[in-house]
């Protein structure tokens, strides 16, 4: 059974304090690993798709990396507007998305 765990459950950072969020997964035949951002009361907003180990993608202060067992979302010099819940999902070929529980990030000014 495909499984996704995320850590930490919650993270509080000072503005400018870089850190990383972890997504660990077990899946048979990974088609893709997806990162989404979710603001309170909103639907998830797509950030990245990673397809193979060693792949990296960047967007503004965010960089996502992928290994065979986990993915990291690195946040460099975060700002208060980066505060949100970050969700990770995996998809095996021909299967549905399986989401992790998310990491709630708070960036304090």
Partner 1 sequence: GAGVSQTPSNKVTEKGKYVELRCDPISGHTALYWYRQSLGQGPEFLIYFQGTGAADDSGLPNDRFFAVRPEGSVSTLKIQRTERGDSAVYLCASSAGTSGSREETQYFGPGTRLLVL
For residue 31, what are its two tokens?
Answer: 């088609």
91 three-state secondary structure: strand
Contact flag: residue 36 with partner 1 (CB under 8 A): yes
For residue 52, what are its two tokens?
Answer: 């193979």
What gap in Å lies between CA 5 and CA 103, rounded to an integer?
A: 10
Contact flag: residue 27 with partner 1 (CB under 8 A): no
Residue nearer to partner 1 on the CB measure, 76 or 83: 83
Contact flag: residue 99 with partner 1 (CB under 8 A): yes
What gap in Å lies between CA 105 and CA 44, rounded to an integer?
A: 14
Contact flag: residue 72 with partner 1 (CB under 8 A): no
Contact flag: residue 37 with partner 1 (CB under 8 A): no
Residue carrying the six token digits 């499984």: 3
Task: State the minimum distance, in angstroms, from the CB of residue 102 to partner 1.
Answer: 6
Contact flag: residue 49 with partner 1 (CB under 8 A): yes
Binding site for partner 1 (CB under 8 A): 4, 31-32, 34, 36, 41-46, 49, 87, 89, 91, 93-102
């Amino acid at each position: 059974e495909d499984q996704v765990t995320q850590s930490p459950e919650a993270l509080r950072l000072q503005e400018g304090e870089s850190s990383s969020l972890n997504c660990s997964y077990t899946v048979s035949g990974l088609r893709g690993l997806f990162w989404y951002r979710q603001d309170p009361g909103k639907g998830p907003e797509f950030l990245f798709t990673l397809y193979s180990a060693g792949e990296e993608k960047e967007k503004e202060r965010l960089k996502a990396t992928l290994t065979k067992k986990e993915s990291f979302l690195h946040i460099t010099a975060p700002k208060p507007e980066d505060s949100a819940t970050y969700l990770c999902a995996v998809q095996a070929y021909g299967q549905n998305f399986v989401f992790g529980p998310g990491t709630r990030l708070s960036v304090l000014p």
